[in-house]
Amino acid sequence: MTGFILVMTVFMLNFSNVMAEEIQGPYFLDNGSIDRDPVTDIAVPAGFKATVFADIDGYARHMAVRDDGTVYLALTVRMGRGSNMGIVAMQDTNNDGIADVTERFATTIPGTALQFHNGYLYFGSKTAIYRFSFEGGSVVPVGTPEIVVDGFPVQRLHEAKTFAIDDSNNLFVNVGAPSNACMEEFRTKGSPGQFPCPQLDAQAGIWKFDADKINQTQSRDGVRVATGIRNAVALEWSREHQQVFFLTHGRDALFSLFPGYYTAEQSAELPSEEMHVLREGAHYGWPYSYYDHIQNKRVLAPEYGGDGTEGVELGLYEEPISNFSGHLAPNDMMFYKGEQLPEYFKNGMFIVWHGSWNRAPLPQDGYSVIFVPFRDGVPGDDWQYFANKFRGGRLLENPADAVHRPTGIAEGANGEIYVSSTVSGRVWQITYSGE
């Protein structure tokens, strides 16, 4: 971990959009070494090829790929953005890397998460988990969707119900916190935090259900597996590692809410985006604490008496297995299982950084896909950029200026990779040729 922290510290001191240390190796690119392709608008490493698989009208989120290669893309409405909802099915019938068949369904449901399980397509909306059934090779499901779980709290913030399903048919659902830091007065300068935080009762954690059972409710059937998680949009079961992994969205506004303890520059970098393994009964620290990758320790939140330096009792909350600079917004993750990419990628983790909105006065950051190698179930410190330049060709002061904001990632039937963008509705296909 020490080496990782050192790399991140160097990165934080260099905001010229070029990493201080050049990324080496045949499969990766640094933050600025390869220009955007003028057709695809992104950069991928040498030996890889990106094509624009589809341009979809809608606020695109996560994807799932059926065994026959059909790609399913979730659409949502978020904070007034996007007008189309539901799911888009896309097929490339002539194998040119471009979808030539698109069909929409469930167009009244806004959602994010998608996963195939036991022949069903599971779909996480803002308030429920659904599943769709298919007949034969039909692209669009038959009949109306079944409700697997509903009864979640209605909330405006962090409402996406992302999920993961393990090999024992356990359905793990992320229920995000409805606030930034559980303050007595919402986002009010200097307001103390509520203690105990009442939002932990039915939110800010991960609940477990039976993936094969329909008409469940959170209060009646759900088991709270873990708590203290602000929002785990990126949530994934790894068959190889036999564990559920997730990444958190860290809290915001340290400087604007507590200017006596933080500078604007510190607030741009803190707190860490944390990677965790899901452990039953664990508390992951929100809202009482956050992880500080600069000090390399968990720190007491200012709403609960912290001053930016005071640590918390070791063992009280789960420590991250890896951590990253703040506000990058990890919106999806994927363990690669296919054969098309080089062996180096097998069982490693791809992470999609949706990109920041609150790093002023520093440039906004993220807007990329990175790769984290795993060794013996442990993430390596040597993560590297895999796809980049989604934001466009210049540094961003305002995230509204981003050309694309990557959100979802999925592995195709032949080991190719698909990446989606919210603001543009674009879906890319990335393949490896080695040339």
> 2-432 — its CATH code?
2.120.10.30
Q: Is 7 helix (H, G, I), strand (E, B) or coil?
A: helix
Can you give the pLDDT at residue 81?
58
More confident residue, 28 or 296: 296
Can you give the pLDDT at residue 44?
93
**Cα dihedral 273/278/280/282 (nearest 10):** -20
Q: Band of the pLDDT at 1, cuts 50, 70, 90?
A: very low
* Predicted structure pTM score: 0.92
Domain ranges of the chain: 2-432
Say which residues have a Cβ less than 8 Å from residue 340's Cβ, sequence separation at least 6: 414, 415, 416, 431, 432
Can you give the pLDDT at residue 34?
72
Percentage of the chain beyond pLDDT 70 is 91
pLDDT(60) > 90: yes
Q: Pick from 367, 338, 375: which is nearest to 351 by CA?
A: 367
**The two structure tokens encoding residue 346:** 């097998």
- Quote the CA–CA distance of 117 and 135 in Å, as a whole number: 15
Tell me the torsion sign for CA atoms 200, 128, 161, 379. Answer: positive
**The two structure tokens encoding residue 163:** 């999920």
CA angle 286, 290, 295 (to 5 degrees): 170
pLDDT digits (tens, 9 = 90+) for 80-122: 555 789 999 999 999 999 999 999 999 999 999 999 999 999 9
pLDDT digits (tens, 9 = 90+) for 363-409: 999 999 999 999 988 999 889 999 999 999 778 888 889 999 999 99
Q: Pick from 84, 26, 23, 16: which is nearest to 56 by CA?
A: 84
CA angle 113, 119, 123 (to 5 degrees): 20
Average pLDDT on 143-154 reads: 96
What b-and-e string marks burial along 404-424, b requiring 16 or more CB atoms within 10 Å of the CB?
Answer: bbbbbbbbbeeebbbbbbbbb
Maximum CA extent, the chain:
63
Please, what is the average pLDDT of the chain? 91
Residue 235: phi and psi, rounded to 5, are: -145, 130
Can you give the pLDDT at residue 33?
63
Q: What DSSP element (H or E) covers 218?
A: helix 218-221
